[in-house]
Structure formats: C-alpha cells, structure tokens
C-alpha cells in the first residue's frame, strides 16, 4: 500500500512541478470579464463548461518534458510499456486538446481498445489496455489545473470587495448552482466524490483540472438518474471512509470518500502513515491519493458489472 501511495505522490510531484513552471498567456482579468458576459451565462445555462479549446495555450516543450517523465515513472508498473513520442505536429496538438476537453469526440488519437458509452466517454476497460491515453492525460493535467486555479483565484479576488471578507478561500465552483455531473471548468466526468464533514454535502472532483464542485446528495452524476431505488452504495468496512456509489440505470459507479468517517477514525488495519493521510484536514486532502489507494473498491464494482469512465489509472 505504501508503494502505491508513493507512486501517487510521485505523479503529483511531477505534475505540480510542471504546473508551477507554466505561465499561460491568458490573465485572470480576462476570465472574469468573460464570466460576466452574456455569452458565458448562456453557456452555463446550456451546461457547457467554462473553458473552450481556444483557451488552452500549452507550452509544448514543457508538456513533452512532463510526458517523458511520467512515462518513465509509470513504465515499471506497466506490463507492456509503450514508447511515447513527443507531441509535435500541429494536428496532434489540436487533436489532443480537443480530446481532453471534449470526450464525445470520435476523432480520438488513440481509438484502439476504447469503446464508447452512451455519452461517448472514453472507457479504459481492464485487460491489456494501452496506457498511452492515460499518461497523456496525466501530462495534460498540470496545464488544466493552472487554468482552473487562475479562474478560481480571479473569482475569489473579484468577490472580495462585494462580499466584505470574501469567500474565505473556498473554491469558486462550490458556490454556484452548477450542480451538474460534469466539471464546470473543463467538462470532464468526475472521478471521485467527497462528502464534507460539517455539512454532509457531496462534492465531485475532476481528474483533469482538479476542480471540485457541489452536486446533489442523491443522484447519479453520469446519467442524472434520481430514482432512489436505482441508486445504491456499498463498502468493504463500515468504519472506512471509502464506499462505492452505483447506478442501476447507467451501470456506472463512482468512489466516494465520506470524510465524516475519516476525520475520526481510519481503518483499523491501516498503518500509521496512511492513517495520517486519512485524517488530514479536508482542505488539504488529496483525493488523487484516495483514488489510487482504493482499487479494491473498483474491483468490487467492476465484478458487479459496473464501470467508471476514468479507471485508466487502475491499469498502472
């Protein structure tokens, strides 16, 4: 288990190094003026995410540097490592951005071994799936996270004078009425959910830009089903903060961290290091680590015939 935690942390370290080195040309001011525009309001009503492909200005040398480092890191965990080429041609770059932002794309860069769901998401199913799209996604994240941070930070600042004290550093999208099953910033499906301790509210987490946003307590983020008898959850240990929420309507699942449990008690069988991880204050909690350390739940869900749009990491 410690090995998996270390692996997850190494991924995060590379990503944060890349993120800190990246300075996008767009400035926060531009985001705010756009947010206040009618065009954006309209997009929000239609359920379209904030960022569009034309916003994304990647430093490709930095991207390729991160890609190689992530590939090296993942190599020893993959049965059949792949040789990763740097993304160079203009066409490749465009396709990559398009695919990352718009998962309904049929023009996939790596369409082999992938199947489509009703919503067109790319699904990585078990058994010899190429890790390439996943490593590319991991390399793309620092850039998206930077954009998301820029937007959240700009919103927080612009709010200060009006609300006298501001939002206290809370992430912007917690406070809107978005309440949709896709990321409000990049449009990606959520990869893990969290229930907050004080309020018991549910938040979804984006694996691409690492944004968190509020979602209804009862309801499937993937198909919108709210019929209670078609929504269930199960766990391995009732004292553990980890559980799986499944939807009988679309057969998808999402892992959930119920931090009301993790704040007080970790799993008895866990070692000290992991307990400390579990007891971290909510704002510092790294859901990515929760995700990579709970593969037993994915297995359980998959054995029951459920799947998740973002199980690529489990292949590593």
Q: Residue 9 or 230: which CB sits closer to Zn ion?
A: 230
Measured CA to CA, the distance from residue 85 to residue 60 in angstroms comes to 13
Measured CA to CA, the distance from residue 161 to residue 152 in angstroms comes to 16
Q: Is there binding between residue 250 and Zn ion (CB under 5 A)? A: yes
Measured CA to CA, the distance from residue 204 to residue 192 in angstroms comes to 6
Tell me the number of residues near Zn ion by CB under 5 A.
15
Measured CA to CA, the distance from residue 219 to residue 228 in angstroms comes to 8
Cα 298 to the chain's mean position, in Å?
16
Q: Which of 134, 186, 246, 316 binds Zn ion (CB under 5 A)?
A: 186
Min separation Cβ 181 and Zn ion, Å = 9
**Per-residue CA distances from 148 to 3, 70, 132 (Å):** 30, 21, 24
Min separation Cβ 286 and Zn ion, Å = 16
Q: Residue 17 or 249: which CB sits closer to Zn ion?
A: 249
Q: Is there binding between residue 246 and Zn ion (CB under 5 A)? A: no
Site string for Zn ion, 203-232 (x = CB under 5 A): ---x-xx-x--------x-xx-x-------
Maximum distance among all Cα pairs of the chain, rounded to whole angstroms = 56
Q: Which segment (11-19, 78-86, 94-102, 188-196) binds Zn ion by CB under 5 A?
A: 188-196
Q: Where are the beta strands (DSSP E) in 178-304?
A: 190-195, 202-206, 212-215, 231-234, 242-247, 253-258
Q: Residue 188 or 261: which CB sits closer to Zn ion?
A: 188
**Per-residue CA distances from 68 to 89, 128, 165, 186, 255 (Å):** 17, 21, 43, 24, 29
Q: Is there binding between residue 183 and Zn ion (CB under 5 A)? A: yes
Q: Which segment (88-96, 126-134, 154-162, 201-209) binds Zn ion by CB under 5 A?
A: 201-209
Q: Is there binding between residue 97 and Zn ion (CB under 5 A)? A: no
Q: Give 50's Cβ-side CA count (13 Å radius).
A: 25
Measured CA to CA, the distance from residue 40 to residue 38 in angstroms comes to 5
Q: Which segment (113-121, 127-135, 163-171, 178-186) binds Zn ion by CB under 5 A?
A: 178-186
Q: Residue 109 or 223: which CB sits closer to Zn ion?
A: 223
Measured CA to CA, the distance from residue 312 to residue 299 in angstroms comes to 13
Q: Is there binding between residue 129 and Zn ion (CB under 5 A)? A: no
Q: Residue 119 or 280: which CB sits closer to Zn ion?
A: 119
Q: Which residues bind Zn ion (CB under 5 A)?
A: 183, 185-186, 188, 206, 208-209, 211, 220, 222-223, 225, 247, 249-250
């Amino acid at each position: 288990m410690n090995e998996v935690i270390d692996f997850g942390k190494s991924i995060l370290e590379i990503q944060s190094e890349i993120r800190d080195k990246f300075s996008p040309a767009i400035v926060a001011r531009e985001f705010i003026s756009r947010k206040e525009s009618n065009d954006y309001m309209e997009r929000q009503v239609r359920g379209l995410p904030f960022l569009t492909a034309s916003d994304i200005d990647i430093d490709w040398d930095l991207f390729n540097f991160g890609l190689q480092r992530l590939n090296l890191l993942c190599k020893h965990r993959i049965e059949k490592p792949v040789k990763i080429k740097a993304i160079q041609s203009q066409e490749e770059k465009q396709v990559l951005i398009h695919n990352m932002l718009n998962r309904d794309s049929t023009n996939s860069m790596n369409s082999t071994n992938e199947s489509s769901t009703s919503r067109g998401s790319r699904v990585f199913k078990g058994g010899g799936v190429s890790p390439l799209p996943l490593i590319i996604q991991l390399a793309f994240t620092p850039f998206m996270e930077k954009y998301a941070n820029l937007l959240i930070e700009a919103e927080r600042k612009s709010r200060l004078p009006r609300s006298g004290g501001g939002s206290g550093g809370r992430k912007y999208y917690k406070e809107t009425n978005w309440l949709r099953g896709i990321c409000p910033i990049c449009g990606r499906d959520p990869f893990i959910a969290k229930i907050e301790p004080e309020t018991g509210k549910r938040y979804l987490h984006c694996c691409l830009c690492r944004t968190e946003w509020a979602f209804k307590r009862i309801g499937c983020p993937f198909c919108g089903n709210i019929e209670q008898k078609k929504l269930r959850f199960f766990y391995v240990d009732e004292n553990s903060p980890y559980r799986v929420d499944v939807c009988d309507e679309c057969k998808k699942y999402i892992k959930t961290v119920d931090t009301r449990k993790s704040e007080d008690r970790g799993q008895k069988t866990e070692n000290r290091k992991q307990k400390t991880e579990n007891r971290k204050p909510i704002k510092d909690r790294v859901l990515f680590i929760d995700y990579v350390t709970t593969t037993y739940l994915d297995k359980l869900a998959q054995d029951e015939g459920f799947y998740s749009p973002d199980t690529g990491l489990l292949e590593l």
